[in-house]
Structure 1
Amino acid sequence: MARRQFLIDEFKALRKSYRAPKYPIFLCHGLFGFDTLRFPGGKLDYWYNIPETLEKYGAKVEVGRVPPVASIHDRAQILYDSISGKEELRKVNLIAHSMGGLDARYLIAKLAAKRIQVLSLTTISTPHHGTSAADVFFDVTSKLPTAFGALAQLSTTSMAEFNKNVLDDPTVKYFSYGARFFPNWVSWLRVPWGIIYRKEGDNDGLVSCKSAEWGEYQGTLDNCDHWDVINLTHLKPRALRNAQFHAPLMYLHVMDQLSAHGF
């Protein structure tokens, strides 16, 4: 297991320069995710201000959209269709949040060789080994319609089986980040955080740091919950925000590292 480095203020301030990768970045959202929600008077982006920031520094960015609660297989197939349908994405770097990392791993292992070449996969707070919160809630989710099948797949038992059958591609570079925080009494993540903390230790409210480790572990984002890492911090009261972490700067760092690898 990788040594867990805590990233405390690495993404507080903008650096002087960042290098853009040669090939496009494709963003893969997680469970219950979306690309953009539109409503009267406004909109909400899942990757809030992240694509725009990467593009400002020269990256080519595409934002994926898959069914929010479908199975990994179904989500991965739609992800594949979205990528393979564009000539400019035949070589691509995937960056994925939460369950999106599992979709991406399935795509790489089972689908990508048909028409696309995935150069790298960077996962952020992805439950590669499942989450004990899903174990606890499984009895409830198993009674939901089959459209909610994704929930059961995130149990630790299901993910152990997934990992036996969905193997890494040795030609792809795998990077990962985890996150941890300690919820205050008003946090809606307080209950799942407690379940996971008792069984797995540090976590972001939905995914433990241990479960987030896959490939080359880049470190644990300190004092960040599951939504901070995709820059939805602005939805919190200002007093509850982490002033030491600015998510777009982390994605600029990821972009810069991809460039350093020649991707």
Structure 2
Amino acid sequence: MRHAVAVSNGVRSLKFNYLCARYPALRCLHSSARRHSPQHPSSPDALDPRLEDLGNVIRDEYAIIRENYNAPKHAVVLAHGLLGFAELRLAGRYLPGVQYWRGIKEALSMQGVRVITATVPPSASIEMRAEELARDIAASAPGEQVNIIAGLDSRYMITHLKPTDFKVKSLTTIATPHRGSAVADFALKQIGDDRLAQLYYALDRLKVETGAFAQLTRDYMTNTFNPATPDIKDVRYFSYGAAMQPSFWSVFRLSHRLLEQIEGYNDGLVSVASSKWGAYKGTLEGVSHLDLINWSNRLKWLAGEITGNRQRFNAIAFYLDIADMLAKEGL
């Protein structure tokens, strides 16, 4: 028995060594290593201490991948957000596809988690995305119980579609605009009704769905969607938010400033206040919206290693810990 356990642990270590080799930007923690102590709130990268008034602040708990995580009893469904995709092939079969969940699905699978990646229309309405999500899960996990990591389309599906082909045990949302986003308000206002109609017409001719955009406004989410979409009692709801201060070169510099003035702390697209839903697990400090899906620039990681200013967030470690949390919740 001891030999079998040793072999199992050895295989797992080899798998994680492979993961670290394939994604060199990641830092992996082996059993002999120690975690870095949490960064003090007064450090240069830390945000205003008042951020803690909005809930638990997660500083560098996900800087490093641990060697062992628990796997939940039920499958985990990963469903992308607005303008997302499961796999994007820019050159057909001639070049490898670009994975939306780059490295995350593989890492979860290596820890014994059954992972289902769902694909929904990138910019369709919440209702249309929810219907496609339900079909996708039903085809992949018929008769099963699942934990979903997704957003508004999942909330709609759980409450309104009430799927019977599978059972949703939990929904975890990450920087999801449950109360809309001032960025959407601003964008639609700047475009204007006349030009917006023209834009929608042009996109429709290109067969690009546009239903999602108007549904991300604060007015729609607060006064229409949320009142009509209450939580279901036998489903567990968890959420995370993120907040950061963008650099001068950040693509989120302008949107962050707008959100900060209107909604407060944010990750460049969604505020912490809008992210909170159900059991709020905490705010990821110093993390942008793109960081959350492991799309950080590798040059950013390399520069951090060279200068000694190492990154404090590892998306793969974060998703592994969500799976671990679900396991500890008995899900």
TM interval, short-chain normalised = over 0.9
Higher strand share: 1
Query: What's the CA shift string for 1:14-37, capped at 9, x where partnerless?
Result: 234211011100001010000111
SS in 1 for 2:162: helix
Code of the aligned partner of 2:329: H
Please tell me the root mean square deviation across aligned C-alpha atoms, in Å.
1.8
Secondary structure, in 3 states, of the residue corresponding to 2:97? Answer: strand
Structure 2 letter corresponding to 1:133: V
Q: Is the 8 A contact 2:180 2:220 kept in 1?
A: yes
Bigger radius of gyration among the two: 2
User: What are the ranges of 5 or more consecutive residues in structure 2 without an aligned counterpart?
Assistant: 1-52
- Structure 1 residue 120, shift from structure 2 partner: 0.3
Equivalent residue pairs, number: 258
Q: Shift in Å at residue 235 of structure 1?
A: 5.4
Listed one character per residue, the Cα deviations across residues 232-259 of structure 1 (whole Å, up to 9, x for unaligned) are 1135644379611111111111101111
- Counterpart selection for 1:155 from 178, 194, 217: 217
Q: Distance in 2 between matches of 1:27 and 1:71?
A: 19
Secondary structure of the equivalent of 1:221? Answer: strand
1:113-124 matches, cutoff 5 A? 113-124=163-174
How far apart, in 2, do the equivalents of 1:210 and 1:162 lie? Answer: 17
The equivalences for 1:94-173 within 5 A come to 94-96=148-150, 101-139=151-189, 140=191, 142-143=196-197, 144-145=199-200, 147-160=209-222, 161-173=224-236
Under a length normalisation based on structure 2, what TM-score does the superposition of the two structures give? Answer: 0.74
- The residue type equivalent to 1:130 in the other structure is G
Q: Which moved more, 1:178-187 or 1:111-120?
A: 111-120
- Quick one: which of 283, 294, 299 aligns to 1:220? 283
Distance 1:233 1:47 in 2: 12
Cα distance in 1 for residues equivalent to 2:232 and 2:163: 10
Which has the bigger relative contact order, CA under 8 A and spacing at least 6? 1
Q: Kindly, what percent of the aligned residue pairs are identical?
A: 40
Q: Give the alignment's TM-score, normalised by structure 1.
A: 0.93
Deviates more, 1:113-122 or 1:126-135: 113-122
Q: Give the conservation status (yes or no) of the 8 Å contact 1:102–1:128.
A: yes
Question: C-alpha separation between the residues in 2 aligned to 1:235 and 1:223?
Answer: 16
Query: What are the Cα deviations for residues 90-130 of structure 1, in whole angstroms up to 9, with x where unaligned?
Result: 3110012xxxx100100100113432210000000100000
Q: Distance in 1 between matches of 2:282 and 2:310?
A: 17
The answer for unaligned runs of 5 or more in structure 1 is: none
Q: Which one-letter code corresponds to 1:84 in the other structure?
A: A
**Which of 70, 75, 95 is the aligned partner of 2:129?**
75
Amino acid at match of 1:123: T
Where does residue 14 of structure 1 map in the other structure?
65
Cα distance in 1 between the residues matched to 2:263 and 2:310: 23
Q: Matched residues in 2 for 1:236 and 1:202: separation?
A: 26
Structure 1 position 88, deviation (Å): 4.7
Instruction: Give SS of 2:62's match.
Output: coil
After TM superposition, list the pairs within 5 Å mapping 1:31-46 onto structure 2: 31-40=82-91, 41-46=95-100
